[in-house]
């Protein structure tokens, strides 16, 4: 019988993919969310982490921005 798993399919560029994989590795074993890594730009993750990934990426982006103090 075929197995069907529900989740979220992520399509992004290579640096972001590595960031997500790194995020997955730093999280404790019970919380690991990547189900399959399909190739360097696509992966399949659990459905509930979508929001968490977005907020982490936004935070990462803001950490790397410098705003000149006015």
Partner 1 sequence: MPEVRIIAKNFMDMVASMPAMKLDKLYENGFICEAILRSLPPLGKKYVLQLLHIDVPVAAKLLEEWVLPDGYTKHRVAIDRLVQLRVFVEAVDRKNDKTYKLNPTFQKSLQQLLVHGGTLPREPMPSNITVRLPNLEDLEAYALQQWECFLLQLISSSLVEKPSNISSSLMKVFQRRLLSQRDKEAPKLTESGFQFLLMETNAQLWYIIREYISNSEERGVDAADLISFMLELSFHVIGEAYNINSLTDFQRSIIRDLADLGLVKLQQGRKESWFIPTKLATNLSVSLADSSSRKEGFVVVETNFRVYAYSTSRLHCEILRLFSKVEYQLPNLIVGAITKESLYNAFENGITAEQIISFLQQNAHPRVADRTPTVPENVTDQIRLWESDLNRVEMTEAYYYDEFPSRVCKLVSEMYLKVHVTLPENGTVCYGKTRRKCTWWLRPGYIHTYESIYAAKSRSKMQRPYGMVHLHPANVLWKTRKQKFALSFAPWKGNRWKKQWGHTLGHYSLLV
Radius of gyration of the chain (CA): 14
Measured CA to CA, the distance from residue 50 to residue 33 in angstroms comes to 10
Task: Kindly list the distances between the CA atom of residue 4 and the CA atoms of 33, 56, 70, in Å, as whole numbers in the listed order.
Answer: 17, 28, 54
14 binds partner 1, rule: CB under 8 A: no
- Number of residues interacting with partner 1: please give it, by CB under 8 A: 30
d(CA 35, CA 32): 8
Does residue 61 bind partner 1 (CB under 8 A)? yes
Considering only residues 16 to 45 of the shown chain, the ones binding partner 1 according to CB under 8 A are 16, 20, 35-36, 38-39, 41-42, 44
| Closer of 27 and 46 to partner 1 (Cβ) | 46
Binding site for partner 1 (CB under 8 A): 1-13, 16, 20, 35-36, 38-39, 41-42, 44, 47, 50, 53-54, 57, 61, 65, 67
């Amino acid at each position: 019988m075929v197995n069907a798993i529900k989740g979220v399919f992520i399509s992004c560029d290579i640096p972001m993919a590595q960031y997500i994989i790194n995020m997955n590795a730093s999280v404790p074993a019970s919380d690991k969310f990547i189900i399959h890594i399909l190739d360097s730009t696509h992966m399949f993750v659990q459905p509930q982490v979508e929001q968490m990934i977005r907020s982490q990426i936004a935070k990462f982006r803001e950490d790397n921005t410098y705003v000149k103090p006015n």
